[in-house]
Amino acid sequence: MDTSVVLRPLAAYLLMAPGLWSTATSAAVPPIAYQYAAQAAEIPPEVLYAIALQESGLELRGRRRPWPWTLNVAGKSQYYSSRTQACAALQYAARRVKATRIDVGLAQLNLGYQRAHYSAPCELLSPAHNLTIAASILRRHRRAGEDWLPAIGRYHRPAGGPLATRYQRRVSEYLSRLQKGTLQ
């Protein structure tokens, strides 16, 4: 099976589901799916959306959007035009690559480290399920009395350090652009 990047009908998908997964009509308000997942975990929806932009963001027609059928296999990002294609590629990758080297979906959940959250790997391709898990992980990483930025860093790298700091900085840039309404 060829696991190369597949980007055929992205525009058609975005037209079919504008209220759930496209960029919100107001730059400062994340799409409703992010709001629901964030509310359930008691986190700011903008934080969850900014994480998804960093993790699975894709430039399409001049706008950056999180893409639900994104895989990262051994450091290589792969974007698929359907859940079916992404699932087939995920199953193929899971047979050939160590699970801790595979990230899945909008929030790029790690197949190895997040085993407790799924019974079959393709479940992580469900946008709502993926966001719910990501929101709960982020919530667990927030410590009492601190803002969300350190938790964002620990979402990416629980041990902290330079990788967490760099990730935190990148997500913070998306947050700033969301707040200013300059995210395209």
**Residue by residue, what is the 3-state secondary structure of 160-177?**
CCHHHHHHHHHHHHHHHH
Count Cα neighbours of 133 within 13 Å in the Cβ-side half-sphere. 22
pLDDT confidence band for 28 (50 / 70 / 90): low
Instruction: Give dist(CA 59, CA 94) in Å, integer.
Output: 27
Over residues 151-170, mean pLDDT: 95
User: What's the CATH code, domain 10-180?
Assistant: 1.10.530
Q: Where does the chain have alpha helices with state H?
A: 10-16, 18-21, 32-41, 45-56, 83-96, 127-141, 148-156, 162-180
User: What pLDDT does 184 receive?
Assistant: 67
pTM metric for this prediction: 0.85
